[in-house]
Amino acid sequence: MNPIETKKKGKGRNKIEIKRIDKEANRQVCFSKRRQGLFKKANELCTLCGAEVTIIVFSIAGKPYSFGHPSVDHVLQRFLNVPGTSEFSRSAATTSFDPLNEELAYLCKKLEEERNKSRALKVAQKALSPVSNSFLWDINLSLMGMEELTEYEKVLLEHQAIISQLARQSCCHAPVIRQIDGSSMAEVGEADYLLLQQQWQNYELA
């Protein structure tokens, strides 16, 4: 037995390199199997962790497949409504200015204005440690009504967007993986209805 030539048996799985599969037949089979696996994983993530997930896949042939919980549209709407998450959520027409920087500058300016408006509150801020933001924990949500909470939520989203922008600028130009909360399965084909049913059964049980 040659120790170097550890020939594998014909059955079972071989380790493969993650690079484009040249042989078209193999690529198609791999695509189909792995897409199913990906959607299954996504479904598990939703069920296990209460997350909202959407996946859109275009095959090399251009055929679209999608997964979404609670629905593709729901997650997309939510994503597109987050300021700064997607460029075309507000304007696909990139004019001479950079929309992201423009948005950042705009929001900073507005925040600065708000800041100037509430001078009386500077006292409270100064009383607190300049290093620590722990005073934020003092915010008492329970004193707010729903309307106020809604407004506050908007501010949170804006601040979050700004922070993400800053994080993006200070790191690299790779697309930042962004975050806020929260699963529908809209398979363009038919193959995944079973998975969907299973998913909803899980939810009904929960």
Partner DNA sequence: AAGGCTATCATTAGCTT
Partner DNA sequence: AAAGCTAATGATAGCCT
Instruction: Write out the residues near DNA by the rule CB under 7 A.
Output: 8-16, 26, 28-30, 32-34, 36-38, 40-41, 44, 182-184, 186-187, 190-191
Residue 201 contact, options DNA, its own copies, none, Cβ 5-8 Å cut-off depending on partner type = none
- Our CB check for its own copies shows the closer of 1 and 194 to be 194
- Our CB check for DNA shows the closer of 107 and 157 to be 157
- Our CB check for its own copies shows the closer of 8 and 174 to be 174
- Our CB check for its own copies shows the closer of 1 and 206 to be 206
Q: Which amino acid is at 32?
A: S
Q: Which of residues 68-107 bind its own copies (CB under 8 A)?
A: 68, 71-73, 75-80, 82, 85-88, 90-93, 95-97, 99, 102-103, 105-106
* DSSP sequence for 125-188: HHTS-SS--GGGGG--GGGS-HHHHHHHHHHHHHHHHHHHHHHHHHS-SSPPP----------S
CA atoms within 13 A on the CB side of 134: 5
- Our CB check for DNA shows the closer of 165 and 183 to be 183
Which are the contacts of 75, defined by CB distance < 8 A and separation ≥ 6? 52, 53, 54, 68, 69, 182, 184
Residue 146 contact, options DNA, its own copies, none, Cβ 5-8 Å cut-off depending on partner type = its own copies
SS3 63: coil
The yes or no reply on residue 184 touching its own copies (CB under 8 A) is no
Return d(Cα 206, Cα 47) in angstroms, integer: 9
35 and 26 in contact (C-beta within 8 Å)? Answer: no
Return d(Cα 192, Cα 37) in angstroms, integer: 11
Count of positions on this chain that bind its own copies (CB under 8 A): 148
Per-residue binding letters, 3-22, with its own copies (x by CB under 8 A)? -------------x-xxxx-
Minimum distance of its own copies from residue 1's CB (angstroms)? 32
- Our CB check for its own copies shows the closer of 1 and 92 to be 92
Return d(Cα 107, Cα 156) in angstroms, integer: 12
Return d(Cα 115, Cα 127) in angstroms, integer: 16
